């Protein structure tokens, strides 16, 4: 039985890729040194998978920034504004923007990869779009592995998924209408791979798990029949993941491919439906190991799926695999030395998931293998652990009253009270929360953990940095201040460390976008807040200024979405536990005198189920959680929320139902296009559209920011418009932060002057 892996983490087991990219961007290493780091990571990954018995080892799952961006470069989908740059500069400019004395080129848009926290670079399509084989990365890496003695399975994003991931620009047309221009390039590429020696090619079409119309289904049929006619001997593994293909099962099962991969972790019930409809020649790749979470696989449960398929199809027509690419989990559990041994025994990172595949294959071949009994012991220990359940926490979550879900006044009344209390000018300026975490700050935190400095020394230094940044904000002229979050390692991890029910890895890094890696907390049990988490720092910050200071909290849905969540109870039960923890913090911040409290729900849209039939239930839980967290605030306390890259079309009523006083959103990369949703719906509360892109190192001019604000004023009433960057500034350097915010404040002041005149 073949063991099929869909993809492996590209960052390196010590985040080598992150460090190499950032050194290259800052001019500390050459392009050749950057490329050598990439080659080393690829060879290490291929060899590791070979050693762990993987039969179908992926290539082209590596990327220096993003796999969708790689495909855009490969197919020549390069916006005109980048055409004069050389290849490497062009690649990173599309992702990060490009600024020189004579040029200021905006980056391409970035958004979430389906319902994950991974961000991809959005392809831009024009009505006159053409495609050509502009780059041979996928072929080069296949040959590179071949030269190392490893026959890989090249991985491509399918042509239909690639087009559906993109965005049409400057015209109104269906991106799928470009398929007749794109498909010949795919055929050319597949021909070259076949001639180079590829036996299998994995083509990822996750859109097959979404709601498709007749035209889209027909396009799948046309495209894959053309591929089969052109390349009858090439074995295509068509991969679906993140959802079941139930509604599209007939369309998928009738495609002329060698193997269909299905995600049995996200949609275990789909197997029966597929087995009832499958034809006599199609093979199945069963995604029985969770590629998006870190819990050890229950072998007995996984084997039942495999045996059911084998009983009907025969062993030769069944492969076993993770549910999706392992890019969404950390590299190796063996890098962890600080996780509690009891809980560590419940976990499996990417490398361990390879081992699990091999062990499941062994058990299937040798039913009396001791591997099954050993796995059963671990699974049983977790399910019976007394550390997981807290009856008093569960009781509180079940006893939610209507009063706990409502503010004490409607928005119009709150707005008047807040205006009287806060005395803010028109077009108030603020930032989203965090300021740059310099090497000095990171060293302080590391030295505290190592015991090199005392907690008192650490606190004194963080207070000094906080006081300096507050004074700097006052001098700059910002209207609503933040304390900078220097005491926080991460917007989710920080809170998890102060809540019961979490455990943390030391090296469990996962790529979020480009060189940005995050270390998701692990929620293993019931969640409880035993003490205040942010009150001391927020109170200290407010004591240093007469201007309003925002209390900064991460919202329950975002903590849930950006953690590895326990899988032994419904997600919404864990969400409500988090909401009550945040609620208690809001109440304590208010008692401490904070009049503005921001509850970040950066991941609210990200968590939305991919299928429409499941979305109402999600919104019910998500909005309920936000209201539990925020409704405790008195009317004069202003509640803010922030949301990262999101598509708001069709969900505006849900955002309004959350009833935050101010919502700040990321709109800069789309040139304020996202605001159209707010205009169509006439969003009633206040809005802070991001006026510059913090994910790019480029510095916006005063004029650029003014132009963004003028666009916003066409949609947002003057009294409802805030001025802010589009996200937190933690990942930026101080020089660009200072210059950008100075220009932002000046733009707001210019707007006020024009308004007075």
Query: Annotation-wise, does 595 bind a ligand?
Result: no
Cα distances from 247 to residues 208, 209, 252, 309, 588, in angstroms, run 9, 8, 10, 20, 48
How many helices (H) and strands (E) in the chain? 27, 22
Query: Annotation-wise, does 606 bind a ligand?
Result: yes
Query: Annotation-wise, does 644 bind a ligand?
Result: yes
Secondary structure of 586-616 in the HEC alphabet? HHHHHHCCCCEEEEECCCCCCCCCCCHHHHH
What angle (nearest 5°) sits at the alpha carbon of residue 689, between those of residues 435 and 657?
Answer: 110
Closest C-alpha to 357, from 5, 728, 86, 729: 5
- How many Cβ atoms sit within 10 Å of the Cβ of residue 390? 16
Closest C-alpha to 586, from 630, 543, 635: 630
Scan for tokens 């009633």, then name that residue. 684
Query: Annotation-wise, does 485 bind a ligand?
Result: yes
Integer distance in angstroms from the first to the last C-alpha of the chain?
Answer: 77
**Contact by Cβ (8 Å): 559, 576:** no
Secondary structure of 643-693 in the HEC alphabet? ECCCCCCCCHHHHHHHCCCEEEECCHHHCCCCHHHHHHHCCCCEEEEECCC
Cα distances from 544 to residues 265, 463, 485, in angstroms, run 51, 11, 15
Phi, psi at 609, each rounded to 5°: -55, 150
**CA 484 to the chain's CA centroid:** 23
HSE-up of residue 523 (Cα within 13 Å, Cβ side): 27
- Residue 470 makes CB contacts below 8 A (sequence gap 6+) with 481, 483, 484, 541, 544, 545, 549
CA–CA gap between residue 9 and residue 291 (Å, rounded): 11
Query: Annotation-wise, does 434 bind a ligand?
Result: yes
Query: Annotation-wise, does 600 bind a ligand?
Result: yes
Q: Regarding beta strands 152-157 and 200-204, do their DSSP bridges make them parallel or antiparallel, or are they unpaired?
A: parallel
Q: b/e for 440-468, b at 16 or more Cβ within 10 A?
A: ebeebbeebeeeebeeeebbebbbebbbe
Query: Annotation-wise, does 21 bind a ligand?
Result: no
The 3-state DSSP class for residue 381 equals helix
CA dihedral 238, 239, 243, 249 (to 10 degrees): 20
Query: Annotation-wise, does 517 bind a ligand?
Result: yes
Query: Annotation-wise, does 441 bind a ligand?
Result: no
Beta bridge partners of 202: 155, 237
CA–CA gap between residue 56 and residue 575 (Å, rounded): 38
Query: Annotation-wise, does 225 bind a ligand?
Result: no
Cα distances from 432 to residues 96, 553, 667, 688, 730, in angstroms, run 20, 11, 14, 10, 10
**CA 183 to the chain's CA centroid:** 29
Query: Annotation-wise, does 516 bind a ligand?
Result: yes
Tokens read off for 112: 């979430």
Query: Annotation-wise, does 230 bind a ligand?
Result: no
Tokens read off for 686: 């206040």
Q: Which residues are known to be catalytic?
A: 695
Query: Annotation-wise, does 332 bind a ligand?
Result: no
Closest C-alpha to 638, from 434, 467, 416, 449: 416
HSE-up of residue 439 (Cα within 13 Å, Cβ side): 0
Q: Regarding beta strands 522-529 and 499-503, do their DSSP bridges make them parallel or antiparallel, or are they unpaired?
A: antiparallel
Tokens read off for 347: 């976990």
Query: Annotation-wise, does 117 bind a ligand?
Result: yes
Where are the strands (E) in 185-326, listed by range? 200-204, 235-239, 259-263, 283-289, 318-322
Tokens read off for 445: 């935190």
Annotated binding site for L-homocysteine: 432-434, 485, 600
- Binding-site annotation, residues for Zn(2+): 642, 644, 657, 666, 727
Which positions make up the binding site for L-methionine?
432-434, 485, 600
Going by the annotation, the residues of the binding site for 5-methyltetrahydropteroyltri-L-glutamate are 18, 112, 117, 516-517, 562, 606
Q: Which residues are annotated as a binding site?
A: 18, 112, 117, 432-434, 485, 516-517, 562, 600, 606, 642, 644, 657, 666, 727
């Amino acid at each position: 039985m073949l063991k099929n892996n869909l993809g492996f983490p590209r960052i390196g087991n010590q985040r080598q890729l992150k460090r190499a990219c950032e050194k290259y961007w800052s001019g500390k290493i050459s392009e050749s040194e950057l490329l050598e780091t990439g080659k080393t990571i690829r060879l290490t990954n291929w060899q590791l998978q070979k050693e762990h018995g993987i039969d179908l080892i992926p290539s082209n799952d590596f990327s220096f920034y993003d796999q969708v961006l790689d495909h855009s470069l490969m197919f020549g989908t390069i916006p005109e504004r980048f055409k004069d740059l050389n290849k490497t500069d062009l690649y990173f400019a599309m992702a990060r923007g490009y600024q020189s004395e004579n040029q200021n080129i905006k980056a391409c848009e970035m958004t979430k990869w389906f319902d994950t926290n991974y961000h991809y670079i959005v392809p831009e399509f024009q009505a006159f779009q053409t495609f050509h084989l502009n780059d041979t990365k996928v072929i080069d890496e296949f040959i590179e592995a071949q030269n190392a003695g490893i026959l890989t399975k090249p991985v491509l994003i399918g042509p239909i998924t690639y087009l559906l991931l993109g965005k049409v620009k400057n015209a109104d047309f269906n991106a799928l209408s470009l398929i007749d221009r794109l498909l010949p390039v795919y055929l050319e590429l597949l021909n070259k791979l076949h001639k180079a020696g590829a036996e299998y090619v994995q083509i990822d079409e996750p859109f097959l798990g979404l709601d498709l119309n007749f035209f889209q289904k027909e396009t799948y049929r046309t495209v894959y029949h053309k591929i089969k006619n052109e390349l009858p001997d090439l074995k295509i593994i068509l991969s679906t993941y993140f959802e079941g293909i139930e509604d599209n099962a007939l369309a998928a099962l009738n495609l002329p491919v060698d193997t269909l991969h299905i995600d049995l972790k996200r949609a275990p019930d789909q197997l029966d439906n597929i087995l009832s409809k499958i034809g006599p020649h199609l093979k199945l790749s069963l995604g029985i190991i969770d590629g998006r979470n870190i819990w050890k696989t229950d072998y007995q449960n996984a084997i039942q799926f495999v045996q059911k398929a084998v009983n009907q199809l025969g062993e030769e027509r069944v492969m076993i695999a993770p549910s999706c690419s392992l890019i969404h989990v950390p590299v190796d559990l063996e890098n962890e030395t600080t996780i509690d041994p009891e809980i560590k025994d419940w976990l499996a990172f990417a490398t361990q998931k390879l081992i699990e595949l091999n062990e499941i294959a062994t058990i299937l071949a040798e039913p009396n293998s001791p591997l099954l009994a050993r796995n059963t012991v671990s699974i049983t220990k977790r399910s019976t652990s007394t550390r997981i359940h807290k009856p008093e926490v569960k009781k509180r979550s079940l006893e939610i009253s209507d009063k706990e879900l409502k503010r004490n006044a409607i928005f119009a009344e709150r707005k008047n009270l807040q205006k009287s209390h806060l005395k803010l000018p028109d077009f108030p300026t603020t930032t989203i929360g965090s300021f740059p975490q310099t090497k000095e700050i990171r060293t302080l935190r590391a030295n505290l953990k190592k015991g090199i400095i005392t907690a008192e020394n650490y606190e004194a230094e963080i207070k000094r940095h906080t006081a300096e940044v507050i004074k700097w904000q006052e001098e700059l002229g910002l209207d609503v201040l933040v304390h900078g979050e220097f005491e926080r390692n991460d917007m989710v991890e920080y809170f998890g460390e102060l809540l019961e029910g979490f455990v943390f890895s030391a090296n469990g890094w996962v790529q979020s976008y480009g060189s940005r890696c995050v270390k998701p907390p692990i929620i293993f049990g019931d969640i409880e807040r035993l003490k205040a988490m942010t009150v001391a720092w927020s109170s200290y910050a407010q004591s240093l200024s007469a201007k309003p200071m925002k209390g900064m909290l991460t919202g329950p849905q975002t903590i849930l979405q950006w953690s590895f969540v326990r899988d032994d109870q419904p997600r919404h039960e864990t969400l409500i536990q988090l909401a009550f923890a945040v609620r208690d913090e809001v109440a304590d911040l208010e008692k401490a005198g904070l009049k503005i409290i921001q509850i970040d729900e950066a991941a609210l849209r990200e968590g939305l189920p991919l299928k429409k039939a499941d979305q109402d239930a999600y919104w019910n839980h998500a909005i309920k959680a936000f209201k539990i967290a925020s409704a405790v605030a008195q009317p004069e306390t202003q509640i803010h929320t922030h949301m990262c890259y999101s598509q708001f079309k069709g969900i505006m009523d849900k955002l309004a139902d959350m009833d935050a006083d101010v919502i700040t959103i990321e709109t800069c990369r789309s040139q304020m296009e996202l605001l159209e949703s707010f205009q169509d719906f006439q969003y009633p509360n206040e809005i802070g559209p991001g006026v510059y892109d913090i994910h790019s190192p480029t510095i916006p001019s005063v004029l650029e920011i003014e132009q963004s604000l003028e666009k916003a004023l066409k949609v947002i009433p003057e009294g409802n418009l805030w001025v802010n960057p589009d996200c937190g500034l933690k990942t930026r350097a101080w020089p660009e932060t200072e210059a950008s915010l100075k220009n932002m404040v000046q733009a707001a002041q210019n707007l006020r002057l024009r308004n007075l005149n």
